[in-house]
């Protein structure tokens, strides 16, 4: 942290602690949980993880660096009579971007209600946190799922120290959006995380899209080859961080269908069960189905037009041009072409453009289908599970990220009254789930995908989840 960083923002009715170190870690080594110094002044934002974009949106007052393992805590100004439930937010960004310094990670708005103590966490990203290098051994032997190891270290720190801030260490909810939700549900497959959380919630991601070990190794090979260190990968320890980030950005696929398709050729949580230095012992979906975590409450959510963000903001790269190319894409996932055509035809309705057809299909395959399958698996194993669909509001299309301000209790600048109403409801859903006051929610699942909804989704939420389950029946969603 730099000495010249400005003081972090405060919020009415809230006590804030910014940039608390929760662990230390040398490059490509596992994190070591840090001690807490209650006498240190925590009034400035911490360093954020090294990433390709240093834009103002990160609000990274203390800059980027590898010494980024810090968290923020917010608590009601007036201490409660008893320890409060704890809401731990894991930011998204595709395991390449994001920080706990940005406004959509500032969970002061939750603490301001007096109902919870809230926390937001930084973790290592991209070339320094999401690459699998343990297969090379030596000084890289611990470099598997480092980003998830960081989250587990943060939860360990919270377990040991959150009582100092008025939080209940035995009543912790972990929740995240997009990449943060993948990390959240990755915890299920990591035995080292057992006992560190009571509830898990995922918004626009969940117990899926794990990177297979073969792809994780292939990506690492491309990375070290690009940098010219394939003959001695330990040379990565001596290269500057910017060159590592640039090399990974160059060799990582960017197409959303490739990244989120059957093979999950992206960055993220790796199914490293048989790899050196494995962090996961099982796939999170299998853990839900096994009943091993039936005592953990689960909430899974999608936005009604998740992939519409790319139609609106990246059309040139996202647009397939023709519907036939979407059939080719789905068939390329090793799905029989006749079945692929049937699936695409189900989305080629209502005068949609090819880009809109692709967006609807990928929204279900990447987000809706695994949410429904995970929720039903957990319910069948005896777990308490809620499904949700977030619809649009005036001025706020229900695309990927539409709920990010609301998840941490913030207000989107310029929001309409209708969005304000929707987002307040989303905030309250988070609070009701975290505090265990689930009688305020809609019914939990039994043997069918009952779902709540907020905003104005263009379909009935439960029926949409069921339709996705039927359409994609027997097709893998790793």
Count of H helices and E strands in the chain? 17, 11
pLDDT digits 0-9 by tens, 126-179 = 999 999 999 999 999 999 999 999 999 999 999 999 999 999 999 999 999 999
Cβ within 8 Å of residue 165, ≥6 positions away: 15, 17, 73, 75, 117
- pLDDT attached to residue 463: 98
pLDDT digits (tens, 9 = 90+) for 296-319: 999 999 999 999 999 999 999 999
Backbone phi and psi for residue 396, each to the nearest 5 degrees, phi listed first:
-140, 85
Q: CA–CA separation, 147 vs 269, rounded Å? A: 8
What's the whole-number mean pLDDT along residues 100-119?
98
* CA angle in degrees (0–180, nearest 5) for 460-262-293: 65
- Superfamily, domain 297-471: Alpha/Beta hydrolase fold, catalytic domain (3.40.50.1820)
Q: Which CATH number is associated with domain 14-290?
A: 3.40.50.1820
Please state the domain extents for the chain: 14-290, 297-471
Please identify every residue annotated as catalytic: 178
d(CA 172, CA 355): 40
Q: What is the pLDDT of residue 10?
A: 87
Mind listing the pLDDT tens digit for each residue in 71-103? 999 999 988 889 999 999 999 999 999 999 999
Contact in structure between 78 and 114 (CB atoms under 8 Å): yes
Share of the chain above pLDDT 70, in %: 99
* Cα–Cα nearest to 385, from 430, 434, 462, 450: 450
pLDDT, tens only, 195-223: 999 999 999 999 999 999 999 999 999 99
Judged against a pLDDT cut of 50, whether residue 2 lies above it is answered with no
Handedness of CA 447, 424, 391, 88 (dihedral sign): negative
Q: Please report, in angstroms and rounded to a whole number, the separation of the first and last CA atoms in the chain.
A: 39
The 3-state DSSP class for residue 189 equals helix
Distance CA 11, CA 204 (A): 28
Q: Residues 322, 354: contact at Cβ < 8 Å?
A: yes
How much is the pLDDT for 424?
Answer: 98
Q: For residues 172 and 119, what is the distance between their CA atoms, to the nearest angstrom? A: 10
Say if residue 28's pLDDT is above 70. Answer: yes
Q: What is the pTM of this model?
A: 0.97
Residue 174 to residue 88: CA distance in whole angstroms: 5
What is the predicted pLDDT for the residue at 53? 81
pLDDT number for residue 4? 63
Q: Would you state the pLDDT for residue 297?
A: 99
Q: Which residues contact 246 (CB under 8 A, 6 or more apart)?
A: 52
**Hey, what are 416's tokens?**
């309409």
Locate all alpha helices (DSSP H) within 252-407, ordered by sequence: 256-260, 284-290, 308-313, 315-318, 323-331, 337-347, 354-362, 369-380, 404-407
Residue 1 pLDDT level (bands cut at 50, 70, 90): very low
**pLDDT tens readout for residues 245-287:** 999 999 999 999 999 999 999 999 999 999 999 999 999 999 9
Residue 413 has pLDDT above 70, yes or no: yes
Residue 7's pLDDT is what? 87
């Amino acid at each position: 942290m730099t000495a010249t960083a400005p003081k972090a923002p405060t919020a009415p009715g809230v006590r804030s602690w910014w940039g608390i170190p929760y662990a230390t870690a040398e490059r490509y080594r596992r994190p070591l949980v840090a001690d807490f110094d209650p006498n240190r002044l925590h009034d400035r934002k911490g360093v954020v993880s090294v990433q390709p974009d240093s834009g103002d949106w990160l609000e990274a007052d203390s800059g980027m660096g590898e010494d980024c393992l810090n968290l923020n805590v917010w608590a009601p100004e007036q201490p409660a009579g008893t320890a409060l439930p704890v809401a731990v937010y894991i930011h998204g960004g595709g395991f390449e971007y994001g920080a706990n310094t940005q406004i959509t990670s500032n969970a002061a708005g939750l603490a301001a209600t007096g109902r919870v103590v809230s926390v937001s966490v930084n973790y290592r990203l991209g070339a320094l946190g999401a690459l699998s290098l343990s297969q090379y051994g030596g000084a890289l032997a611990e470099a598997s799922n480092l980003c998830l190891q960081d989250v587990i270290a943060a939860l360990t720190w919270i377990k040991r120290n959150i009582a100092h801030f008025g939080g209940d260490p035995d009543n912790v909810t972990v929740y995240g959006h997009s990449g943060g939700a993948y990390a959240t549900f990755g915890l299920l497959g990591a035995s080292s995380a057992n006992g560190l959380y009571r509830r898990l919630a995922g918004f626009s991601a969940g117990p899926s899209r794990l990177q297979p070990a073969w792809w994780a190794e292939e990506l690492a090979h491309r990375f070290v080859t690009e940098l010219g260190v394939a003959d001695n990968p330990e040379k990565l320890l001596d290269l500057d961080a910017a060159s590592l980030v640039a090399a990974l950005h160059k060799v990582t696929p960017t197409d959303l269908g490739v990244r989120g398709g059957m093979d999950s050729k992206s960055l993220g949580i790796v199914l490293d069960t048989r790899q050196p230095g494995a962090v996961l012992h099982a796939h999170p979906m299998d853990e839900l189905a096994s009943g091993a975590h039936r005592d953990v409450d689960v909430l899974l959510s999608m936005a009604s037009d998740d992939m519409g963000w790319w139609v609106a903001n990246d059309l040139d790269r996202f647009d397939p041009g023709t519907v036939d190319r979407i059939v080719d894409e789905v068939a390329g996932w090793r799905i029989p072409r006749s079945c692929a055509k049937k699936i695409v035809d189900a989305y080629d309705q209502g005068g949609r453009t090819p880009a809109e057809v692709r967006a609807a299909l990928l929204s279900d395959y990447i987000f809706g289908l695994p949410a429904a399958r995970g929720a039903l698996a957990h319910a069948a194993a005896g777990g308490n599970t809620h499904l949700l669909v977030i619809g649009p509001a005036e001025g706020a299309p229900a695309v990927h990220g539409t709920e990010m301000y609301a998840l941490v209790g913030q207000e989107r600048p310029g929001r309409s009254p209708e969005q304000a109403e929707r987002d307040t409801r989303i905030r309250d859903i988070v609070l009701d789930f975290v505090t265990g006051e689930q009688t305020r929610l809609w019914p939990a699942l039994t043997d069918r995908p009952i779902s709540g909804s907020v905003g104005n989704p263009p379909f009935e939420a439960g029926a949409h989840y069921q339709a996705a389950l039927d359409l994609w029946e027997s097709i893998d969603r790793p």
